[in-house]
């Protein structure tokens, strides 16, 4: 098995480039299914989730080429794509659910495996289903698959989301672009990734009003055409680096992101004692000698992103005084706390709240990543721990962070990726 082995003590310095957002590129790739022909997506990060989406699209009959160096994916979508998204791929990446809307709208049917919950929560999909049903599709669960059907096409409708779900907003706005008539979707998600997707749909010929607001009005089109589109910079990866600079007392310039997508994050880091300078597509973060505890509540955008929650807990674990984190999106996003406690962190979880009492020093230990963000935050915590921290479950990190170890080395960290015999495997084969 692979481990990331971190030796604590370095304060990060230098610059790091962030490429496109995982939580946008996967949906942009799914949106290409809405039009026959060749679309290209640029500023694509070299992460495992993109490779899984490449495979998913190939199984739907698309030809996909991915230049990982240049960060470009070219997708040739056939006249009649397949409509079945297999369980084994959806199990590996729940974002696969975002082909449900485009396939139902373009092909009149879709069969997408139900992704199920994961390490951070139950993750319902009822808003996806009820929204598609309001657009005139029938959606039923059969043998573990969402089976959607709209043989006569979709029809525009007024939809109000109970919660500004990112995934439901994306599936429904994509589906509405090919529905006949007007669709109004109220209480939609407003993340920069949603804006990025809507801009691509408009470039494909869709008519969408209210982009970036909580109400989207979509005029259905008879057909859309392929495009070339660029992925918006990854604010979550950039935020991860900003926390790393703050926690290590470092000085890091982060290129390739729009700082305004991180306003609330920058505000909190400044409260923790960091100095943050911003420019058009970059930010420079200088960390204090020791951060101060901060209080954060995760919320849909423009609130504080839940995906940076583990970094808030890690920062507060070594901060002066105490800090508090309230998780409002994912009820089970606490597995990280158990692992951080192995490094000596003092965290008490009570329902949606975590109270963190800062300690002067964490101490290195073997820990396990349970999801993408928890994994990266454990590596960063290892940078401020005494001795060596070994992080397993590296495959989670690779799903959302490209070349994390190489970039950390460039910033002066002592870190390596190593292969070690899997102790369970050894026992099993004795
Ligand atoms: C997206 O997940 C991101 N994933 C998540 O990032 C991110 O944490 C989340 O948005 C919130 O910002 C991708 O874009 C691939 P939601 P998504 O639908 O679309 C409930 C990462 O680390 N809900 O906004 O699944 C749901 O259970 C990942 O990059 C319903 O109840 O998020 C959750 O509590 C982790 N019914 C809340 O809404 C529904 O039909 C937010 O979910 C849909 C959602």
Q: Where a domain ends, among 198, 230, 262?
A: 230
The string of pLDDT tens digits covering residues 72-82 is 999 999 999 99
Place of tokens 């949906």: 27
Whether residues 176 and 274 fall in one domain: no
Residue 228: active-site member? no
In sign, the C-alpha dihedral spanning 234, 235, 240, 242 is positive
Whether residues 158 and 293 fall in one domain: no
Q: Where a domain ends, among 200, 230, 260?
A: 230
Whether residues 237 and 221 fall in one domain: no
CATH assignment of the domain containing 286? 3.65.10.10
Whether residues 215 and 264 fall in one domain: no
- List, as residue ranges, the binding site for phosphoenolpyruvate: 22-23
Cite the beta strand spans of 200-335 per DSSP E.
207-209, 215-219, 228-230, 251-255, 275-279, 282-286, 295-297, 322-326
**Measured from the CB, is residue 306 less than 6 Å from ligand 1?**
yes
**Measured from the CB, is residue 307 less than 6 Å from ligand 1?**
yes
**Active-site residue, selected from the candidate residues 76, 118, 186, 255:** 118
Helices then strands, counting H and E runs in the chain, come out as: 15, 26
Closest CA to 404 of 416, 418, 388, 393: 416
Whether residues 249 and 393 fall in one domain: yes
Q: Which of 90, 114, 127, 165 to mutate to test the pocket of ligand 1 (most atoms within 8 A of CB)?
A: 165
Whether residues 187 and 276 fall in one domain: no
User: CB neighbours of 351 closer than 8 A, spacing ≥ 6?
Assistant: none
* Residue 79: Cβ within 10 Å count: 7
Q: Where a domain ends, among 215, 230, 245?
A: 230
User: CB neighbours of 341 closer than 8 A, spacing ≥ 6?
Assistant: 347
Whether residues 252 and 399 fall in one domain: yes
**If you measure from the C-alpha of residue 123 to the centroid of ligand 1, how many angstroms do you get, rounded to a whole number?**
7
* Rounded-to-integer distance, Cα 220 and Cα 263, Å: 34
**If you measure from the C-alpha of residue 27 to the centroid of ligand 1, how many angstroms do you get, rounded to a whole number?**
13
Residue 375: its pLDDT value, please?
A: 97
Whether residues 191 and 280 fall in one domain: no
Closest CA to 90 of 71, 117, 72: 117
**Measured from the CB, is residue 372 less than 6 Å from ligand 1?**
yes
* Residue 15: Cβ within 10 Å count: 15
* Rounded-to-integer distance, Cα 86 and Cα 114, Å: 10
Whether residues 242 and 213 fall in one domain: no
Whether residues 347 and 305 fall in one domain: yes
Cite the beta strand spans of 28-181 per DSSP E.
37-42, 63-67, 72-77, 84-85, 109-113, 138-142, 145-149, 158-160
**If you measure from the C-alpha of residue 303 to the centroid of ligand 1, how many angstroms do you get, rounded to a whole number?**
14
**If you measure from the C-alpha of residue 201 to the centroid of ligand 1, how many angstroms do you get, rounded to a whole number?**
21
**DSSP secondary structure string for all residues of 314-344:** HHHHTSBSEEEEE--S-TTTTHHHHHHHTTT
Q: At what angle do helices 166-176 and 100-107 cross, to 10 degrees?
A: 10
Domain of 332, in residue numbers: 2-18+233-428
Place of tokens 């002592």: 414
* Rounded-to-integer distance, Cα 92 and Cα 84, Å: 15
Going by CA atoms, what residue is nearest to atom 39 of ligand 1?
Answer: 125
Residue 350 bridge partners (DSSP): 353
**Measured from the CB, is residue 333 less than 6 Å from ligand 1?**
no
Whether residues 199 and 96 fall in one domain: yes
The string of pLDDT tens digits covering residues 123-153 is 889 999 999 999 999 999 999 999 999 999 9
Residue 422: its pLDDT value, please?
A: 80
Whether residues 201 and 222 fall in one domain: yes
- Total of domains in the chain: 2
Q: Tens-of-pLDDT digits for all 430 residues of the chain?
A: 899 999 999 999 999 999 999 999 999 999 999 999 999 999 999 999 999 999 999 999 999 999 999 999 999 999 999 999 989 988 889 899 999 999 999 999 999 999 866 778 878 899 999 999 999 999 999 999 999 999 999 999 999 999 999 999 999 999 999 999 999 999 999 999 999 999 999 999 999 999 999 999 999 999 999 999 999 999 999 999 999 999 999 999 999 999 999 999 999 999 999 999 999 999 999 999 999 999 999 999 999 999 999 999 999 999 999 999 999 999 889 999 999 999 999 999 999 999 999 999 999 999 999 999 999 999 999 999 999 999 999 999 999 999 999 999 999 999 999 998 887 777 887 7
What single-letter DSSP state applies at residue 306? G
Instruction: State the DSSP H helix or E strand holding residue 104, giving kind and residue range, or none if neither.
Output: helix 100-107
Q: Order of strands across the sheet with 84-85?
A: 84-85, 109-113, 145-149, 138-142
**Measured from the CB, is residue 96 less than 6 Å from ligand 1?**
no
């Amino acid at each position: 098995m692979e481990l990331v082995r971190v030796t604590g003590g370095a304060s990060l310095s230098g610059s790091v480039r962030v490429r496109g957002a995982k939580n946008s590129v996967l949906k942009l790739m799914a949106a290409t299914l809405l039009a026959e022909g060749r679309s290209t997506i640029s500023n694509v990060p070299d992460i495992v989730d993109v490779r899984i989406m490449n495979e998913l699209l190939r199984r739907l009959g698309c030809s996909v080429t991915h230049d990982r160096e240049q960060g470009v994916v070219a997708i040739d979508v056939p006249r009649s794509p397949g409509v079945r998204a297999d369980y084994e791929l959806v199990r590996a990446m729940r974002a696969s659910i975002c082909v449900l809307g485009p396939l139902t709208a373009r092909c009149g049917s879709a069969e997408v495996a139900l992704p199920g919950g994961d390490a951070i929560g139950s993750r319902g999909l009822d808003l996806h289903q009820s929204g598609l049903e309001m657009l005139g599709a029938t959606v039923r669960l059969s043998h573990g698959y969402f089976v959607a059907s709209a043989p006569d096409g979709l029809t525009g409708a007024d939809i109000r989301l109970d919660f500004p779900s990112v995934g439901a907003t994306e599936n429904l706005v994509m589906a509405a672009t090919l529905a006949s008539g007007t669709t109004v979707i109220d209480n939609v998600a407003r993340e920069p990734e949603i804006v990025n997707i809507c801009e691509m749909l408009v470039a494909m010929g869709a008519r969408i009003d209210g982009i970036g607001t909580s109400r989207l009005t979509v005029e259905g089109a008879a057909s859309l055409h392929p495009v070339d589109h660029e992925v918006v910079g990854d604010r979550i990866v950039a935020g991860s680096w900003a926390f790393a600079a703050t926690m290590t007392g470092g000085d890091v310039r982060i290129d390739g992101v729009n700082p305004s997508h991180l306003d609330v994050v920058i505000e909190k880091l400044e409260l923790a004692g960091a100095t943050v300078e911003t420019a058009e597509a970059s930010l420079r973060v200088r960390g204090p000698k020791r951060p101060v505890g901060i209080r954060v509540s995760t919320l849909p955008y423009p609130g504080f992103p839940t995906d940076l929650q583990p970094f808030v807990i890690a920062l507060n674990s070594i901060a002066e005084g105490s800090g508090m984190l309230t998780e409002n999106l994912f009820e089970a996003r606490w597995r990280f706390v158990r692992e951080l406690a192995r490094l000596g962190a003092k965290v008490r979880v009570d329902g949606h709240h975590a109270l963190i009492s800062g300690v002067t020093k964490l101490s290195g230990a073997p820990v396990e990543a349970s999801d993408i963000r928890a994994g990266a935050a454990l590596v960063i915590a290892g940078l401020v721990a005494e001795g060596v921290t070994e992080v397993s479950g590296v495959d989670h990190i690779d799903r959302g962070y490209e070349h994390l170890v190489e970039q950390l080395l460039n910033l002066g960290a002592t870190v390596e990726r190593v292969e070690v015999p899997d102790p369970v495997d050894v026992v099993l084969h004795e």
